[in-house]
Structure 1
Amino acid sequence: MEYRKEIDGLRAVAVLPVILFHAGFSWFSGGYIGVDVFFVISGYLITSILIKDLENGRFSIAQFYERRARRILPALFFVMMCCIPFAYTWMIPQQFKDFSQAFVAVSFFSSNILFWAKEDYFAPAAELNPLLHTWSLAVEEQFYIFFPLLLLVLWRFGKRPIFYVVLGLSCASLLLSEWGWRNSPSANFYLLPTRAWELGAGAMCALYNYHRPIKANKTLSTLGFCLILYSIFLFDESIPFPSAYTLVPVVGTALIILFCSTGTLVYNLLSLKFVVGIGLISYSAYLWHQPLMAFARIEIFPYPHWTTMLALCFSSLALAYLTWRYVERPFRTKNGSWINSRAKVFATAFVASCAVFSFGFYGHINNGIPDRIRLSAEQSAYLSTATSSPMRNKCHASADNPIKPQNACRYNNDNATIAVFGDSHVVELAYALGEQVKGTDIGVAHFSFSGCAASYGNRDSSACSEWANNTVSYLIDSDEFTHIIVSYRMAAQIWGTPLGAYPNLPTIRSEDKANPVIESLRNTLEDIAASGKQVIYVDQSPELPRSIQELVYADRIINGDVQGLSRDWWDAFNTFFNNKDIVPKFVERINVDKILCDDEVCYAGKEGVSFYFDEDHLSVEGAKRIADLILSETDILLER
């Protein structure tokens, strides 16, 4: 296949936005689409090589995987090994356990499956995972288990039938992603079936272009470049991905592959020597950037300054050059390294994978090796009380685990008169209320949905909106309940999370994004109250700048109490919500700050008791204090 330096330039356009996005630069809010650009490029290049081999009668599965091993594994394993001492020294046990699990998953190229089960890519905690980015490598390698075999089987029918088969499969994958983001967003993001169409788009470009000269088209190549730039600067984490929106960067990449050639403006830009140079080291740059930034966020309290993150962006490129020069390039060919035979490649890959697996398995079964860190009795007490509800897995609904309202969990008494409704931040509150009313005939019903902002009244087809509409209707129609307790993580819906921003305020979201959530909450409270039930709104608990575990391990304990954040900062964070007059006057409002804060500080824990089990969810012990406040300030107990 003829070398196209503009494709290497396109790699630079893919990797730089990813790096800047993960560094937290808001201008590159859609920088994550660089991964989608990589998928299309990969599908194009690999398919071009495969069909050339097939046409020349020298296709070999063993040779194909030898090339993949030489291309992918040396730099990957080298970067992973470099991460170990920093992880061992700086990570708290849960982080180190997650890190170890990623080692196990990477050894099987299944880290995307692990992160599907554990991570939200856009969640703040993901920023602390040094190996989160390996999910995309796993998707690619899983694709290349099946795709060469598909080409081999179909080759006898010719390139045109292959093109239409790939087109059909890609369309099915795209349609599945449209279903997936509405019904199982995490699986949709991480798993191969909803990503395959992006690699398929590149494969179709290769099939179309093969034995055809690139026809330069200034208009179409420029349009493609503009589509990619549009995605980088105007997309953000609120855009469902992958979905039909992903067609924007994918089609943009395809247009450049198909129509960018000598004489076009895009070719001139992508062929610049320094742009091509960044493209050549893009794989190593992609490998290095996430560990550097994750470890910086772990070690620097509360968060690295933007100048530090910018320096790490440049460091990623510097380390990438060294890795490309001394690790990637020497291993790519038989003549370039001591691994000069296929047998040695596979044997070395097997031994290295076993070593990676063994390290990860040891860290996993030893729960992150907590003995690495010496703790005081005070620290141990706080950690032992940073616990979530034992009923969270069973009773908390999600897109992957929908729970119908009539099947909601009941605590203390099956004949519930109290209903607790909201997002994941009411899970512990519902359980704690059930515990606190023991000895009475009061029952507590638990209605919560993970990551589901106030969405009652929305008519979209998402699992969140469907659950919210069904549940609020159930609460309104039911004669069972006398009191409905509602709570949401509203400040985060307006501002986003303080993680990564504190002690500064994050950028407020546009009113177009905040107002629908605000209106939905107001409608929820009003409509339930109109049904004759007493509605109680519980304000959001303060959000910590770091998880309670990180604060405790960092020994942020002053005079026996774990310092959380400034009360002035938390008040400023809530100003927008409070000024909107969202909670109607006829709804009882519980201000939790009187329990969790004083005039100067909002606490993560006091007197050896953690109020949280992570950075924003109350622990069972913290929720018990809020439950007691509710019971003392309302007529729930008086009516029994």
Structure 2
Amino acid sequence: MSHSISASAAGANEFRRDINGLRAWAVVAVVLYHFGIAGFGGGFVGVDVFFVISGFLMTGIISKGLQQGDFSLWSFYLARARRILPPLVLLAAVLLLVGWFILMSKEYEVLGGHVRRTLFFASNLRYLNESGYFDLDAHEKWLLHSWSLSVEWQFYLLLPVLLWAVWRFFPSRRTIIGIHAVLLLVSFGICVTLTLSQPPKAFYLLQSRAWEFLAGGLLFLLSENLKLSRRIRNGFEWLGFALIASAIVLLDASSLWPGWLALLPCSGAILVILAQHEGSPWTGGSVAQWLGSRSYSIYLWHWPLVVGLAYCEKLDDPIWMFSGLVATLLLGQLSYALIEIPTRRGLQGVAPRWATACVLLAVLPVLTMAHLVRLYDGFPERLPATVIDIEAQIDNRNPRRSECLAKESGCVFGGESLKALLIGDSHAISVVTAAQAALPDSHQGIQFKGVSGCLIVFGAKDIDEKEPGPPCAHLVEGLERGVQAQAADSVLPIIIVNRTSMYALGVNEKIQERQQGRPFVFFSAPSETASPAYLEEFRRHYVATACAIARQRPLFLMRPIPEMIIDVPHAMAKAILMGDRREVFITKEEYRKRHAFVWSIQNEAQEQCGAQILDPLPYLCDDEVCHGSKNGIPLYVDDDHLSEFGNRLLVPMFAKAFASMRDAGEPLAHRQATEVAR
């Protein structure tokens, strides 16, 4: 956010200490929120405060220029670029330089794309197509905070053109006020609607954020000559800060944002600006003024430091967190003193064409480097061979994953004479090729049916969707109908592979928009925790499902695959790039603690109805630990999905299973495979 622009008592010419101090409060809220400081769960509202401030200042500059007849679009844009771009270009250059040494090729390629979008002020559109701002993988995006700069610059591009065009035909202050009011209402309506239906769009798009800028602009237009008593102004200031503080304290990443809730910080900012309390202890002190003047540079540098701490797995360490905050202030001061001030003063009296040339000369080399990073796939040749080998495992997934997951008719792996049906979720697709490799004869095959995030238990409903998604519902209901009808293919064995502990107990790693320990499914009523009553209901349905299938055909239940909790290839590669080596593993005790419940219900299904158990532990674990790698190569593509390299360790397990299966169903299986192929 370009909040280093001078304000005035009227909004355009003279410095206003109260607005500068308000910037300080906004940037402190954002920084402390991103560093995870307790009590600042809603600190992201500082961005909304900045938007109101920017709208107030920009409308002041534009409207005064129009009224005085000396407004220049080119001068306006050049002034914004002169203030915004130099510190941003420096940050982008530093990140590209640092990334050369510490990022894998795909990460570096992504950074190049983000730098390019950031310098074109379109990063908000890029991040909209990726995951959300509040997701955990946000900590992998070094320039995520640039989304607000992009929204702000887009506003800067459009508003002056609109007001200038309208002024030419209707040179009236009342017309400008009317335009602001109408656009504000339209934008606010879009914001509320999108927040309910498509929250990422509401968060990232200008059309749902413009009302915050326009609110600041309307404030300037309506309050320029407004006279208020000291008592009223003091009351406005107190109320304004109370609204901002309540938003910071009461909101968090789970809040439906922005929507109507954004009225809290925006209204607070409006009241503080309207109070115009120059001698306020809240905004006029030396600390607030120091922070406010450097708020832009502080904002720019804080987020890469947050990402850097997350990259080094130090973000939860209080000492490192404090060091990051100190570094934020230090880098903010250096950027302000060495970049912001010199470029602002140095280009102040330069002719527009030469000032433009200087800005372009600063931007083009960084843009060129970002383009080359994308063009040459992140320059993998700069990396050690060991890192290249490790990174290759990230993409070493089942090559038919996209084709076969959620495909209603399923896929056949191997020959047309089916030996078994392997059914489940993404863990199932990650091991099916190992099962194929274990088949006794090359003419034999495995029919696969699976849906990512789909628990193979009759009656299970997604706790967020309230019903299973259509592909999952079709898969489970089709299996249930076949069992109830005692289908003729009942001799074909079934192998069920699920990440069952996740559905019952929730995730045990940090995952996008998922609370640790919160179940994924329910049966009679949703439960926010894996309570004894909930687990008992889960047990009944799991065992009933297993027994219903086992009565009709041979059933094999695979024990849970060890979950490494952290991304194995990334952790190993990062360690090497940082000059270290790392073996990722979990202890056997950690595995047993995580999966004890699932083992117990699988054992119950075995005892009650003869379901057979496939245990991957002898192949993935030794006496003490379960390994995430073998001979320096990751066994996983992430934290819990086996790679095609890793799943080969399970071939002997599947071979034992096939050796115990009956051959009676193979003629029928051949006919089924022909139907699937059609």
User: Which whole-Å CA distance do the structure 2 matches of 1:517 and 1:593 have between them?
Assistant: 28
Among 610, 630, 636, the alignment partner of 1:606 is 630
User: Which whole-Å CA distance do the structure 1 matches of 2:162 and 2:124 have between them?
Assistant: 23
Among 210, 213, 227, the alignment partner of 1:196 is 210
Q: Paired residue for 2:397? A: 388
- Give RMSD over aligned pairs: 4.5
User: Which whole-Å CA distance do the structure 2 matches of 1:32 and 1:627 have between them?
Assistant: 49
User: Which whole-Å CA distance do the structure 2 matches of 1:433 and 1:243 have between them?
Assistant: 49
Q: Paired residue for 1:262? A: 277
TM-superposed CA distance for 1:421, in Å, is: 4.8
User: Which whole-Å CA distance do the structure 2 matches of 1:573 and 1:28 have between them?
Assistant: 34
Matched, 1:56 2:68: yes
- TM-score of the aligned structures, taking structure 1 as reference length: 0.78
TM-superposed CA distance for 1:340, in Å, is: 1.2
Q: Paired residue for 2:676? A: none
Give secondary structure in 1 for the equivalent of 2:149. Answer: helix
Q: Paired residue for 2:491? A: none
- TM-score of the aligned structures, taking structure 2 as reference length: 0.74
TM-superposed CA distance for 1:367, in Å, is: 1.9
Among 137, 144, 150, the alignment partner of 1:138 is 150
Matched, 1:444 2:448: yes
Quick one: which amino acid aligns to residue 392 of structure 2? S
Check conservation: 1:541, 1:616, Cα contact below 8 A: yes
1:160-179 to 2 correspondences below 5 Å: 160-179=178-197
TM-superposed CA distance for 1:429, in Å, is: 4.6
Q: Paired residue for 1:619? A: 643
Among 119, 129, 148, the alignment partner of 1:107 is 119
TM-superposed CA distance for 1:282, in Å, is: 0.8
User: Which whole-Å CA distance do the structure 2 matches of 1:629 and 1:204 have between them?
Assistant: 70
User: Which whole-Å CA distance do the structure 1 matches of 2:248 and 2:113 have between them?
Assistant: 31
Matched, 1:348 2:366: no
* Gap runs ≥5 in structure 2: 1-7, 10-14, 484-493, 666-678
User: Which whole-Å CA distance do the structure 2 matches of 1:538 and 1:207 have between them?
Assistant: 67
Q: Paired residue for 2:294? A: 281
User: Which whole-Å CA distance do the structure 2 matches of 1:522 and 1:208 have between them?
Assistant: 63
TM-superposed CA distance for 1:133, in Å, is: 1.9
Which digits, 9 at most, give the CA deviation of each residue in 1:503-535, with x for residues without a partner? Answer: xxx996789999437589987886687674469
Quick one: which amino acid aligns to residue 172 of structure 1? I
Check conservation: 2:240, 2:267, Cα contact below 8 A: yes
TM-superposed CA distance for 1:168, in Å, is: 1.7
Instruction: Return the index of the structure with the highest Cα Rg.
Output: 2
Give secondary structure in 1 for the equivalent of 2:129. Answer: helix
Which digits, 9 at most, give the CA deviation of each residue in 1:574-605, with x for residues without a partner? Answer: 38x95998989449787655544434433221
Give secondary structure in 2 for the equivalent of 1:195. Answer: helix
Q: Mean Cα displacement is larger for which, 464-473 or 246-255?
A: 464-473
Check conservation: 2:86, 2:362, Cα contact below 8 A: no
Q: Paired residue for 1:503? A: none
Give secondary structure in 2 for the equivalent of 1:58. Answer: coil
User: Which whole-Å CA distance do the structure 1 matches of 2:261 and 2:187 have between them?
Assistant: 19
Check conservation: 2:518, 2:529, Cα contact below 8 A: no
Q: Paired residue for 1:399? A: none
Q: From the superposition, tell whether residues 294 and 547 of structure 1 become closer, same or farther in structure 2 (CA, over 3 Å).
A: farther
Check conservation: 2:122, 2:147, Cα contact below 8 A: yes
Among 428, 431, 445, the alignment partner of 2:430 is 428
Check conservation: 1:18, 1:32, Cα contact below 8 A: yes
Quick one: which amino acid aligns to residue 140 of structure 1? E
Q: Mean Cα displacement is larger for which, 140-149 or 580-589?
A: 580-589
Which digits, 9 at most, give the CA deviation of each residue in 1:466-487, with x for residues without a partner? Answer: 6537733652255468665432
User: Which whole-Å CA distance do the structure 2 matches of 1:456 and 1:144 have between them?
Assistant: 50
Q: Paired residue for 2:34? A: 22
Give secondary structure in 1 for the equivalent of 2:71. Answer: coil
Give secondary structure in 2 for the equivalent of 1:135. Answer: helix
Q: Paired residue for 1:564? A: 584
Quick one: which amino acid aligns to residue 44 of structure 2? Y
Among 118, 130, 138, the alignment partner of 1:126 is 138
User: Which whole-Å CA distance do the structure 1 matches of 2:127 and 2:163 have between them?
Assistant: 30
Check conservation: 2:17, 2:278, Cα contact below 8 A: no
Among 5, 14, 19, the alignment partner of 1:7 is 19
1:424-573 to 2 correspondences below 5 Å: 428-429=430-431, 439-448=443-452, 457=461, 468=469, 471-472=472-473, 475-478=476-479, 479=481, 485-487=497-499, 490=502, 494=506, 497=509, 515-516=527-528, 518=530, 532-533=548-549, 536=557, 539=560, 541-552=562-573, 554-555=575-576, 563-567=583-587, 570-571=590-591
1:210-225 to 2 correspondences below 5 Å: 210-213=224-227, 216=232, 221-225=237-241
Q: From the superposition, tell whether residues 391 and 356 of structure 1 become closer, same or farther in structure 2 (CA, over 3 Å).
A: farther
Among 232, 242, 245, the alignment partner of 1:226 is 242
Check conservation: 1:612, 1:619, Cα contact below 8 A: yes
Which digits, 9 at most, give the CA deviation of each residue in 1:411-458, with x for residues without a partner? Answer: 669999857455x666535676677678545421231269xxxx9646
Q: Mean Cα displacement is larger for which, 624-633 or 301-310?
A: 624-633
TM-superposed CA distance for 1:136, in Å, is: 1.9
Q: From the superposition, tell whether residues 133 and 365 of structure 1 become closer, same or farther in structure 2 (CA, over 3 Å).
A: same
Check conservation: 2:408, 2:471, Cα contact below 8 A: no
Check conservation: 1:87, 1:96, Cα contact below 8 A: yes
TM-superposed CA distance for 1:208, in Å, is: 3.9
TM-superposed CA distance for 1:34, in Å, is: 2.6
TM-superposed CA distance for 1:148, in Å, is: 2.4
User: Which whole-Å CA distance do the structure 1 matches of 2:504 and 2:43 have between them?
Assistant: 22
Give secondary structure in 1 for the equivalent of 2:397. Answer: coil
Q: From the superposition, tell whether residues 89 and 382 of structure 1 become closer, same or farther in structure 2 (CA, over 3 Å).
A: closer
User: Which whole-Å CA distance do the structure 2 matches of 1:620 and 1:421 have between them?
Assistant: 17
| Percent pairwise identity | 25
User: Which whole-Å CA distance do the structure 2 matches of 1:552 and 1:631 have between them?
Assistant: 33
Q: Paired residue for 1:502? A: none
Quick one: which amino acid aligns to residue 171 of structure 1? G
Kindly tell me the number of residue pairs found equivalent between the two proteins: 604
Q: Paired residue for 2:384? A: 374
Q: Paired residue for 1:97? A: 109
Which digits, 9 at most, give the CA deviation of each residue in 1:147-203, with x for residues without a partner? Answer: 32233344523413431232223322331232112xxx4x55434344334434434
TM-superposed CA distance for 1:540, in Å, is: 5.9
1:562-601 to 2 correspondences below 5 Å: 563-567=583-587, 570-571=590-591, 574=594, 578=597, 585-586=604-605, 594-601=618-625
1:399-410 to 2 correspondences below 5 Å: 406=408
TM-superposed CA distance for 1:231, in Å, is: 3.5
User: Which whole-Å CA distance do the structure 2 matches of 1:622 and 1:283 have between them?
Assistant: 47
Q: From the superposition, tell whether residues 510 and 554 of structure 1 become closer, same or farther in structure 2 (CA, over 3 Å).
A: closer
Check conservation: 1:391, 1:431, Cα contact below 8 A: no
Give secondary structure in 2 for the equivalent of 1:385. Answer: helix
Give secondary structure in 2 for the equivalent of 1:443. Answer: strand
Check conservation: 1:285, 1:317, Cα contact below 8 A: yes
Check conservation: 1:231, 1:249, Cα contact below 8 A: yes
Check conservation: 1:5, 1:271, Cα contact below 8 A: yes
Give secondary structure in 2 for the equivalent of 1:602. Answer: strand
Q: From the superposition, tell whether residues 556 and 321 of structure 1 become closer, same or farther in structure 2 (CA, over 3 Å).
A: closer
Q: Mean Cα displacement is larger for which, 119-128 or 9-18?
A: 119-128
TM-superposed CA distance for 1:548, in Å, is: 0.9
Q: Paired residue for 1:85? A: 97
User: Which whole-Å CA distance do the structure 2 matches of 1:284 and 1:325 have between them?
Assistant: 10
Check conservation: 1:556, 1:562, Cα contact below 8 A: no
Q: Mean Cα displacement is larger for which, 280-289 or 466-475?
A: 466-475
Q: Paired residue for 2:85? A: 73
User: Which whole-Å CA distance do the structure 1 matches of 2:419 and 2:154 have between them?
Assistant: 48
* Gap runs ≥5 in structure 1: 397-402, 500-505
Quick one: which amino acid aligns to residue 551 of structure 1? M
User: Which whole-Å CA distance do the structure 1 matches of 2:536 and 2:267 have between them?
Assistant: 41
Check conservation: 2:420, 2:447, Cα contact below 8 A: yes
TM-superposed CA distance for 1:111, in Å, is: 2.1
